Amino acid sequence: MPRWLPVVIVIAVIAIVVLMLYRWTKKQQKKNDEAQEMMDQNQQNVSMLIIDKKKMKLKETDLPEAAAKSIPFLFRGKKFPIVKAKVGPRIMTFITDGPVYDVIPVKKEVKATISGLYIISVKGIRGPLAAPEKKKEGKLAILFKKGRGEL
């Protein structure tokens, strides 16, 4: 058996794995684009009073069962940024993104763009919202910056 045969087999396996990952990411990107398009079609602006915001597991929230069941199995144990807000006479629970979650003030009234139970963006009704405080960088991040010559 020639010495180069195992190398060719390893290269072929790596090429197959890369091709499968490429197709999978392309499929996921297509799903993401469709979901974003649906969110853009169904968005609406509402005025809401933010009661509370926390990072919680979906089991601990009072989201509808249909919304909780639509979350993939791998993400069910993960903590999500949850916001409780009063919209009109009702108190509702919403899910947000990390950057939007950081900007949302507690115990204040805001104008939010929502799509279903998802908060897309937030604007202050009475003046601009305070920018979130920047978190202090860790020692490892500082070392990486020094290594790249950014400091």
DSSP string, 94-121: EE--HHHHHHPPTTSEEEEEEETTEEEE
Q: Please give the model's pTM, rounded to 2 decimal places.
A: 0.70
Cα dist from 119 to 13, 36, 38, 41, 124, whole Å: 43, 13, 14, 14, 14
> What is the tens place of the pLDDT at every residue in 42-60?
999 999 999 999 998 888 8
> What is the tens place of the pLDDT at every residue in 59-115?
888 888 887 788 888 887 889 899 999 999 999 999 998 889 989 999 999 999 999
